[in-house]
Chain A
Amino acid sequence: MSNRRRLITPPRGFGAPVSRRSVLRGASFGALGLAGGGLLSACGTEGASQSEASCESQDLSDSEKAVTWSNWPYYIDPTGQADATLGTFQESTGITVKYNNDVNDNAAFYGKVRNQLGACESTGRDMFTLTDWMAAKMIGLGWLQELDKANLPNLEANLLENLRSPSWDPERKYSVPWQSGLTGIAYNADEIGEVGSFEDLVTRPELKGRMTLLSEMHDTMLFMLLIIGADPVDFTDDEWGTALDKLEEVKDSGQVRQFTGNEYTQDLGQGNILACEAWSGDVLQLQLDNPAIKFVAPEEGLALWSDNSLVPNKATHKANAEKLMDYYYDPEVAAELAAYVNYICPVVGAQDAMTKIAPDLAENVLIFPDDTLLSNTYDFMGLSAEQEQQYQDDFARVIGA
């Protein structure tokens, strides 16, 4: 017995007492060593681009009366009620809509679907709603299905003229505006005289440290390009550089208090800032509390943008999604929706429909902009994925450091 036991006695080194510390140290260095040598060089990522040939989708709309849609929060009238727009759609078409409020941020949503769409897999969604620049990026990546215009007669008839051919999707092959908005200037009329131009906003001494700009590159740079006299729809790299220098100069002068997202609404409401670059929908909300907050169309022009409904690759209910998109281009439906969400309604004829349900809203230029407002709107040049990244990068470096 004892002999046998001796035979299986482990070698000396192994039997030596091992302290917790040295085990951990040994294990971690060993693992790090392995990691460093082997794993790191095996890393790297595949490209995420797809094309019609590389990623084919199937449409089961005929047999499955359903559609799954991801939208931004508070961007539709109540979805649970039978007499609301979505309820009526479900009743009249028999298509069940699974509505998700899971788009909070373009970049974050991109992160959510990136792995599936990059690998040509289903995201579980038939339709989602994203802002112009992100829609442009996804078109560039080949992640979207082309829409069938035959299913979109209301869209053909009623889409607002200014939104018909954006630079990044000139024939609206892939995208249908859901709601639109304007980017311009908001100011507090109780505290300061009208801020009529962007040049004024970034140079007026009373506004030093009392104004903000948006941290969305496309919005802010559109105005910088306009200030230096370039055309935001068609500009050169040199003009981009000049516009960027202008922004840096404005920032370094201490004029800009912050670059913000939606937070500017609080600062404007509390009086921390007197004027800012602003989105029309937010200003409309602010005006409910404080009528002194005004929205102006800057002399240089203003940005007209949309959040767009898109159908991703591998979505299996494209025709159903198209029916849903088209349904919201019926002026009556569009008016009902616009009365609730207070953004710019992209549907011609909805204004007339609105006079029947809410006459005061029908007069509001921030929901139904008049021709003077619309005559001076611009969209941003369509960018390739590389340009988009480069410009975002340049912009972030100026506002970030």
Chain B
Amino acid sequence: MTVRLGPWSVRLAPRALLVCAALALAGCTVAVAAVATGEYTLPVRDVLAALTGDGTPAADLVVSRLRAPRVVTGLLVGAAFGVSGAIFQSLTRNPLGSPDFIGFTAGASTGGILAVVAGGSAMTIAGGALAGCVTTAALVYALAFRGGVAGHRLVLVGIGVNALLLAVNSYLLTRANINDAATAGAWLTGSLSGRGWDHAVPVAVALAVLLPVAAVAARPLRMIEMGDDAARAAGVRVEAVRAAAVAAGVLLSGTATAAAGPVVFVALAAPQVARRLTRSPGVTLGASALVGAVLLTGADLAAQRLLAPTQLPVGVLTAGIGGAYLALLLRKERH
């Protein structure tokens, strides 16, 4: 189905639209459930009232100061990881291509740990994580560049850099004093607890700027999936598109990691779940963003409630999701 408006046209798949609508609904449901429940349960009516600004003072405090920022951060971070994962899976033409495995997340961790050791505040840690992620990405890109960046070389170089940074991270953790090591350890598992609006805003800005970039790059990326030569023959400026896509993916995963810590496997699982739900031939950005948001907020809700009153870090749950996802991949495509 194609919608034309003047010189622009957009191809729409009805199934994808339906799935996206359903995912958005699911995201809202999870979000409202996360805001309404907890140690202090609120009726949904009060939640909605507090959100529109005329709730009781108590409900207002719990909803808009404590729970809503966490949920919104979760939604945005999940969406950012989902889009970032979709971009890298398209670039590497591999359902396992994910910023988690090619060093970017590990680089963000290195930056975060260094900031912790330097005695930084929460904002410095976020800045360190973003800087670490971008530096690592630049390093991987430069090392993989030989008259162009082929997807497989990006993956292999990234895996090497990833191994190096994991070693550096564990070295830093063994050298740090016990308090810093505990702080860094908590941040490294990935957690949404205690996140305020100041965590959510940078991710929102990044999404607002980079989602359009990613959306424009989506179509040429599909062409590149068919091979560099085929894409070039179709008029795609392969290296330019690839550089733009890498930049968008890196900045998204960097800001997301800065906000929530290195939450692994969301970027890995979201694009493939989205692809299966929409039954689209390639990875889809919009649906990936929505799946990422639902996955992360859902995992965070489960992490808070499963063993209540013990609060698990959400990273433990997403690691479980990653394992389940790999098992599924193994079972489903074996024939």
Chains A and B come from one and the same complex = no
Q: Which residues of B contact A (CB under 8 A)?
A: none
